[in-house]
A and B are shown apart, each in its own frame.
Chain A
Amino acid sequence: MAKFTAKPKDLINIDYTPPKTEWMDTPTEIREHMFCHATKAKDLETVEFPNIHEWRPQDEDWNLPANWEQIVLQGMQDLLKKYRSFQLFMDICVRCGACADKCHFFIGSGDPKNMPVLRAELLRSVYRGNFTLAGKILKKIAGARELTPSVIKEWWYYFYQCTECRRCSVFCPYGIDTAEITMMARELLNLLGLQLGWIGGPVANCYMKGNHLGLEPHTIKSSVEFFLDDIKEITGITIEPTFNRKGAEILFVTPSGDLFANPGTYTAMGYLMLFHELGLDYTWSTYASEGGNFGFFTSNEMAKRLNSKIYAEAKRLGVKWILGGECGHMWRVIHQYMDTWQGPADFLQEPVSPITGTKFENAKATKMVHIAEFTADLIKHNKLKLDKSRNDHLVVTYHDSCNTSRGMGMLEEPRYIINNVCNHFHEMPEDTIKEKTFCCGSGTGLNASENMELRMRGGLPRANAVKYVKEKHGVNMLANVCAIDRATLSASVDYWVPGTAVCGTHELVANALVMKGEKERTLDIRLEPLPGKEASE
């Protein structure tokens, strides 16, 4: 596959005119740089997924199983019976089009099949043809179409151009949530063995090794130790975290991305420094070493299988409650799914901050608290000594991650933290933040490298808003609370708005955090000289 070389000025030349032909008569072209590679058979075997076979997206024949049609229709039938959302969302759309220009992929590509309404129609048309009387009799007049192998390809192409961000659902008068529809479509595609490499691999890793990146226990420990060296260099303080320690009060779970690559690693350093400063009685786990859940992008069952480790480990270690790191879809899963799958968590206690005594009422059943909630509470109670000026070289804006804003509603806590650790904070335009926030463009397992055009297109609306505050306020740092954001925004911001960096919120906390016994800081968390505080000659 050729390297993606399109220039931003060409990519933004977007044609929003729909094709002359009706969408049902417009064949889908599987275009280079817009899709991800197929998964390796061995990864699917690890988790016993069905109908594993060799295929390549760019091939004419995808080697679908002989009874593929029956598999899909039976699968649809099952899902319609299991999910009211699916049944309802297949039936009640009036095609008002309010969702159309709300999707980051549509805004960035102009492809009408990226309008949420049309994305859903890709599935609805088959639903009508097979599950409704009108569709069976009136066929195309009723908006129905036949299920063919090209329909399967079209589903695959476009349901992997949706990041389940739910922005469309905010604007829909009936709350139709394309995330639900995409989840169903991906369940169906998964039944046919049509999984992405970038999803199948992390899922298999997470199942066997506890995290998406496949970090083995000793590697997790050595990664953390590597951070500790850096922390020592920055602060002069020696930190000794524990792993898989029984009897700790709190189990800490964060996305493994934070242990692996910049700038997530700086966020991980932030956690380590904060917990050390608090003297928190907590432990990391190498078994439950993944907060995120790529299973969520395959099937409900796989998501549950991966997620099971968090409670299982909390129980085994005998902790009182669980603290979760900065992540987006991890929190959709923990907030809206975990307790339903695995609960009741009666072996844990209602979370209470050992530092402030605050009861986290909003987490009393699930017993898992988001670190932004935890830290905001600390700051509110004046438990942290903070030197905001150590972030003075940064002009910060905040990107709400899709899931924490639209699948949870954690909007103010991160802002409160940032405002208490930074002097220069500016919001992006109102229509691009909070519940109207834009996806980074690479969520739900689309953060591969072979689909870079798709990612840049999907990342355009977010980057465009960053550009606005960069030009207006000189913003040079895009803070967030999401590991995928940290991994992917760097790429899209680099592409569209060069000169803006990306960081987790707790990196900013770590910069500002005045630790007991620390040496005069001359370096920030990235080991770059702190302006104005350079080591004296």
Chain B
Amino acid sequence: MKMLLPFVAVMALAAAALMAVNVANLHFLFGVIIPYIAFAVFVGGFVYRIVKWASSPVPFRIPTTCGQEFSLPWVKQNKIENPSTAAGVIIRMALEIFLFRSLFRNIKAELRDGQKIVYGSDKWLWLAGLAFHWTFLVILVRHLRFFVGDVPMCIAALEHLDGFLQIGVPMLYITDGVILAAIGYLFIRRVLLPQIRYISLPADYFPLFLIAAVVISGILMRYITKVDVVGVKNFTMGLVTFNPVIPATLMQGNGAFFFLHVFLISALFAYFPFSKLMHMGGVFMSPTRNMINNSRMVRHVNPWNYPVHVHTYEEYENDFRAKMKDAGIPVEKE
């Protein structure tokens, strides 16, 4: 059920798109209006979520320290895993965001022979996660060629690099294969590992299926149904210049796959801010990672710190004065 529902939902989205353009001729709705709305929802929703997080303060300095702290001059500090400066935090965050440092640390615990627990390195999740996110980024950047008039050198170079295997016409992009493999791994892992399956929600399968569908529709278009790329560029340039046009070549035949692709992406964009995918923004704001471990050196201020009721020394001495005097412990009032 947890798996079926999201699968059906993605299939329904796909079917809706194909029917809309093939049967109902809703090209303008699915090609222009929905993408505009989806993009607006994405930007608005993303900003809303970030602002919402930012509006809750960070009352305490709570980095999770993963190395030796700044201490005595002769004790070697781990300046990245336990940063005492902003520069250290920037490096720590960069390693986290670009290389998934914490996942790289992953180990697997196993009970062996029913009597000892052993730990082994387990970097597959790290590898698949890294492959997925980086290829996703490369594919996204590659697509920018559709949204600028003259394709900048850097994008062309990236495309060239991505296609360096020089297989097929059009050239096969490595990222297309890698991202499918990575999604496949992440999905299979979720299904096969009993613990992971147990914790998985429909909200974990849905984005996997949706992104897979986006990728597959893109691959189909590029390699099999051969979409009219010039038409696509005219269309996307129309979108970005707020002068939307739908070229005739996209309105017929296999053009429907293009609208399918666009609609699935729209769905992904609109879904993004309301989902766990917001970890993209959230990772930057995690107080256990982005804070300097200097709380004994620099006072951290809690904006909602308030006075509390305490049991004062005076009250304490009143309770125990006689006993203290008997024991020869100095008192304030004789």
Task: Give me the interface of A with B, judged by CB distance under 8 Å.
Answer: 9, 12-14, 16-18, 22-23, 48, 80-88, 91-98, 100-102, 107, 112, 115, 117-118, 121, 132-134, 141-143, 166, 169-177, 180, 207-210, 216-218, 221-222, 243-246, 286-287, 301, 304-305, 308-309, 312-313, 316, 334-337, 339-341, 343-344, 358, 360-366, 368, 373, 376-377, 380, 405-413, 416, 429, 431-432, 434-436, 460-461, 464, 467-468
Contacts and interface: CB of A to CB of B under 8 A. Distances in A.
12 contacts: A16-B111, A84-B285, A98-B106, A112-B199, A174-B283, A335-B295, A339-B299, A363-B297, A406-B65, A409-B82, A410-B71, A467-B116
B316 A366 contact: no
A16 B202 CA distance: 23
A92 B289 CA distance: 14
A416 B70 CA distance: 15
Contacts of B72: 358, 360, 373, 376-377, 380, 413
A259 to B, nearest CB: 14
B109 A340 contact: no
A410 B69 contact: yes
Contacts of B125: 96-98
B201 A95 contact: yes
A20 to B, nearest CB: 10
A407 B298 CA distance: 16
In the complex, the 6 A-B pairs of residues with the closest C-beta atoms, listed nearest first: A409-B69, A92-B282, A218-B327, A409-B65, A175-B288, A175-B289
Given A141-B5, A172-B102, A460-B117, 17 more contacts: A18-B194, A82-B56, A92-B276, A98-B103, A100-B196, A107-B111, A142-B201, A171-B105, A173-B103, A175-B287, A177-B288, A217-B323, A218-B320, A363-B296, A376-B72, A411-B68, A461-B109
A243 B324 CA distance: 10
Contacts of A467: 116
Interface stretch (B25-33, B262-270, B305-313): B305-313
B162 to A, nearest CB: 25
A305 B305 CA distance: 12
A14 B293 CA distance: 38
Contacts of B102: 98, 170-173, 175
Contacts of A22: 2, 198
B254 interface: no
Contacts of A95: 196, 199-201, 204, 276
Contact of B288 (A48, A121, A169, A376): A169
Interface of B: 2, 5, 49, 52-62, 64-72, 74-76, 78, 81-82, 84, 96, 100, 102-103, 105-109, 111, 114-117, 119, 125, 129, 193-204, 274-276, 278-279, 282-283, 285-289, 293-302, 304-305, 308-313, 316-317, 319-320, 323-324, 326-330
Nearest to B207: A94
Given A18-B194, A177-B62, A407-B64, A376 B75 contact: yes
A343 to B, nearest CB: 5
Contacts of B317: 287
B116 A87 contact: no
B296 A339 contact: yes
Contact of A286 (B61, B106, B329): B329
A118 B195 CA distance: 10
A416 B71 CA distance: 13
Contacts of A85: 58, 62, 286-288
Contacts of B193: 97
A243 B328 CA distance: 9
B296 A134 contact: no
B78 A409 contact: yes
B65 A362 contact: no
Given A91-B282, A308-B310, A362 B296 contact: yes
Contacts of A142: 201-203
B171 to A, nearest CB: 33
Given A97-B199, A173-B100, A218 B323 contact: yes
B147 to A, nearest CB: 28
Contacts of A358: 72
Query: Most chain-B Cβ atoms within 10 A of its Cβ — which of A18, A132, A362, A377?
Result: A362
B329 A244 contact: yes
B239 to A, nearest CB: 28
Query: Most chain-A Cβ atoms within 10 A of its Cβ — which of B55, B65, B116?
Result: B65
Contact of A361 (B55, B297, B319): B297
Contact of B62 (A80, A81, A336): A336
Query: Most chain-B Cβ atoms within 10 A of its Cβ — which of A14, A98, A316?
Result: A98
Contact of A143 (B203, B297, B310): B203
Given A48-B309, A95-B204, A143-B203, A408 B117 contact: no
Nearest to A461: B117
B81 A435 contact: yes
B110 to A, nearest CB: 8
Contacts of B275: 134
Contact of B67 (A407, A411, A461): A411
Contacts of A173: 96, 100, 102-103, 129, 283
Contacts of A301: 308
Query: Most chain-A Cβ atoms within 10 A of its Cβ — which of B204, B274, B282, B309?
Result: B282
A27 to B, nearest CB: 16
Query: Most chain-A Cβ atoms within 10 A of its Cβ — which of B108, B289, B311?
Result: B311
A170 B313 contact: no
Contact of B278 (A92, A177, A340): A92
B104 to A, nearest CB: 9
Nearest to B56: A84
A94 B129 CA distance: 12
Given A82-B59, A143-B201, A143-B203, A91 B75 contact: no
A91 B53 contact: yes
B279 to A, nearest CB: 4
Query: Most chain-B Cβ atoms within 10 A of its Cβ — which of A91, A221, A461?
Result: A91
Contacts of A115: 195, 199
A222 B279 CA distance: 56
A344 B299 contact: yes
Contacts of A101: 108-109, 195
Given A92-B279, A98-B125, A412-B68, A340 B61 contact: yes
